Structure 1
Amino acid sequence: MGIKAVVAGAAGGIGQPLSLLLKTSTLITELSLYDVVNTPGVAADLSHISSPAKVTGYLPKDDGAKAAFKNADLIVIPAGIPRKPGMTRDDLFKINAGIVKGLIEAIAEVAPKAYILIISNPVNSTVPIAAETLKAAGVFDAKRLFGVTTLDIVRAETFVAEIAGKASPQELTVPVIGGHSGETIVPLFSQVEPKVEIPEDKYDALVKRVQFGGDEVVAAKDGAGSATLSMAYAGYRFAEKVLKALNGETGIIEPSYVYLPGVPGGEEIAKETGVDFFSVPIQLGKYGVEKALNPLANITDKEKELLKVAIEGLKGNISKGVTFAQTPAQK
């Protein structure tokens, strides 16, 4: 069975390294790249790599987006502009929201069954925009729409391993729930497997570092961009898990930001949190989300406090996305 994967925003800071990583995957037979500039060049460059995927690059002319998306199995969307120093995620919102909405409209038309992985910030709002846009087109399947929050998990693994003195961070499972920006990110250090002890005096700083790790990168790049390489890795890691599940591998669990009322097990989490979109550990299967796993039963008092703050932030982010999607474009 051939798998067609697409990267929308493939020529950008996240798109290029993400496309490179996807080209190395043996699970992909066709890799289609779409962006407003440079995609034929990126495609030509990647096509020389000796892995099975056949690479093609598309530009907007001649309905390139639709050609790129047609019959795709998996579409990863890192499209949009990056956050620059001094820019709030809110400044990003209007531009990226419009970009995501346009791409999703094209996907709804030519690849309604695709698994859609959204990286474009602010994820807390762009995923609700995608959901509303797919609903409006009558093709929404919540089990196939994912907000990629894997970078928060990757960071949490890295930072926890540093504190706990673990040589290989990837051996740790660190659930991170909630949303995908600042205080909406809730790392559940009490549920790390294998168990680790976080010293009391380091706890708050560690939470903050997971929540605001992106700012470290923005500052270090000194005006030249935001987290692109670590984000590309995280996007690839999540995409690969979805592909493995499509391929029939079972028992794959990874947190993702999903529409809870539309996925098995999500209803009770939505009731408990009071929000419809939320990142929780998801069991992946052949048809996308098999089950949302409720991580809230055993959380500590500190985590409950973090959760409360996260939910408040998320409510605003979600309604902003929904409102944007439902408002007709200004001509």
Structure 2
Amino acid sequence: MAMFMAMVMAMFVAMVMSVVLLARRLPWYIHPTPAEGHPNPPSAMRHNDLVGGKSMVSRDADWVEMQRSLQAPLFPSAIARAHEAAVTVGKYRDSPASVQAVTMVKAAVLGASGGIGQPLSLLLKVCPLVDELSLYDVVNTPGVAADLSHISSCAKTSGHLPKDEGLKNALTGCDIVLIPAGIPRKPGMTRDDLFKFNASIVRDLTQGVADHCPKAFLLIISNPVNSTVPIAAEVLKKAGVFDPKRLFGVTTLDILRAETFAQKYTGEKDPSKATIHVIGGHSGETIVPVYSQAKPAADIPDSEYAEIIHRVQFGGDEVVKAKDGAGSATLSMAYAGYRFALSVLRAANGEKGIVEPTFVHLNGVEGGEAIIKETGFEYFSMPVELGPSGAEKIINILPQVNEREQALLKICKEGLQGNITKGIEFAQNPPQK
């Protein structure tokens, strides 16, 4: 009898200890204690808050790790996956020695009322690293800002129009500026046609950046990027504030397409987890997907290679045609702009190992001289390692390209130089109004 009672008591103690250990690992919003309680729900948490000596993100990551270890998850699997995805996006880091706070930033979208600008602004509104979002356009921005302001996220929104020094108010104090402003492509319209409309828009908005937030990271989305980035660079040079490390042409949509269209070859269920670099430029045949260096490997047979390359290079035409004149690739471009902006912000906060292909001014960035020597170009899209100062280092993958990609690069070079020169000449000798 005594032995039986001892066994029962031992089992009881083991159960109590298991419950205590499990409870201690529950996130603070399920199991608050006087030492670790927090007044805000997870949707309102700031990533530089600390609780119990660990960041909120770290505690949520512990929760995800705990769920993985349990055979029966606490929440339905779909909710658990969504929570894990949020933690993955928000998991910026805990230093082994100490917790380092994440710096929140002011972001601006210039052209925020357009087809790219509105969904891009929505994504930035819920970005965990943005606490102030400034929207500028020639029409409708107060309404867009009011709409977004009802979303329960950290970022406070404001909308600005040209009147009453709207551009100055939108840009003052900004850490990162994204420019998707301009007209969208329509059926039959080339990027040269776009240039006539968008060149002066990018020039004038970049002048605003030079005047009111010259240290901000500047991300050019407005097409044709092969020409608008050189325009922006010339404006910043003339103002005496040009830093090649802080100016980027967003080519990320090419990477998204390269990842998506090669999914059946890489075998990745989530194509975004593949690493596929796209180099050269950001229009038609200047776009060069480097599938030979894909991770996981993308073994594309010769019989299918030309078709998939064409889809990556001319994916915009595919969308314009599908929308039957009602628009261009606005939603995918907005996501591409957000993905690149998030990488820039994560790197600015000190996260290491972030590499993104982007169209940059090569001279003045580490590794750029080698690309200039090899290509003869002042601007080129290459994988760039990002850091606190922006473009920290250009990674030269040209020596590793295969014969098929060398052929693509030859065609790329034939068109890219003309695009670059056109932008520089426009900025240096603007047409008379």
TM-score calculated relative to the size of structure 1:
0.98
Say whether 1:243 aligns with 2:345. yes
Displacement of 1:71 after TM fit?
A: 1.6
Say whether 1:170 aligns with 2:272. yes
Q: Which amino acid aligns with 2:235?
A: T
Aligned to 2:195, which of 61, 71, 93? Answer: 93
Say whether 1:73 aligns with 2:170. no
Contact 2:266 / 2:295 at 8 angstroms: preserved in 1?
Answer: no
Say whether 1:41 aligns with 2:154. no
CA deviation profile, 1:220-274 (whole Å, cap 9, x unmatched): 0000010000000000000000010111111100100000012111111011011
CA deviation profile, 1:123-165 (whole Å, cap 9, x unmatched): 0000000000100000000000000000000000000003444
Instruction: Report the secondary structure of 1:251's partner residue.
Output: coil
Task: Give the aligned partner of residue 428 of structure 2.
Answer: 326
Say whether 1:159 aligns with 2:261. yes
Aligned to 1:191, which of 293, 312, 323? Answer: 293
Q: Which structure 2 segments of 5+ residues have no match?
A: 1-102
What is the alpha-carbon distance in structure 2 between the residues aligned to residue 292 and residue 52 of structure 1? 33
Task: Give the aligned partner of residue 7 of structure 2.
Answer: none
CA deviation profile, 1:1-39 (whole Å, cap 9, x unmatched): 430000000000000000000011010010000000000
Q: Which amino acid aligns with 2:317?
A: D
Q: Which amino acid aligns with 2:412?
A: A
Instruction: Report the secondary structure of 2:159's partner residue.
Output: strand
The runs of at least 4 consecutive aligned structure 1 residues that moved more than 6 Å come to none
Task: Give the aligned partner of residue 29 of structure 1.
Answer: 131
Aligned to 1:15, which of 106, 113, 117? Answer: 117
Task: Give the aligned partner of residue 357 of structure 2.
Answer: 255
CA deviation profile, 1:62-115 (whole Å, cap 9, x unmatched): 111111011210000000000110111111101100000000011101100000
Displacement of 1:200 after TM fit?
A: 1.6
Larger Rg belongs to: 2
Say whether 1:127 aligns with 2:268. no
Contact 1:164 / 1:198 at 8 angstroms: preserved in 2?
Answer: no
The structure, 1 or 2, with the larger RCO (C-alpha pairs under 8 Å, 6+ apart) is 1
Q: CA RMSD in A?
A: 0.9
What is the alpha-carbon distance in structure 2 between the residues aligned to residue 166 and residue 253 of structure 1? 19
Q: Structure 1 330/255 Cα, relative in aligned 2: closer, same or farther at 3 Å?
A: same
Contact 1:76 / 1:117 at 8 angstroms: preserved in 2?
Answer: yes
Instruction: Report the secondary structure of 2:427's partner residue.
Output: helix
What is the alpha-carbon distance in structure 1 between the residues aligned to residue 414 and residue 165 of structure 2? 40
Task: Give the aligned partner of residue 330 of structure 2.
Answer: 228
Task: Give the aligned partner of residue 401 of structure 2.
Answer: 299
Displacement of 1:329 after TM fit?
A: 4.5
Q: Which structure 1 segments of 5+ residues have no match?
A: none
Which deviates the most, 123-132 or 168-177? 168-177
* Percent of aligned positions that are identical: 66
What is the alpha-carbon distance in structure 2 between the residues aligned to residue 29 and residue 171 of structure 1? 28
TM-score calculated relative to the size of structure 2:
0.76
Instruction: Report the secondary structure of 1:140's partner residue.
Output: coil
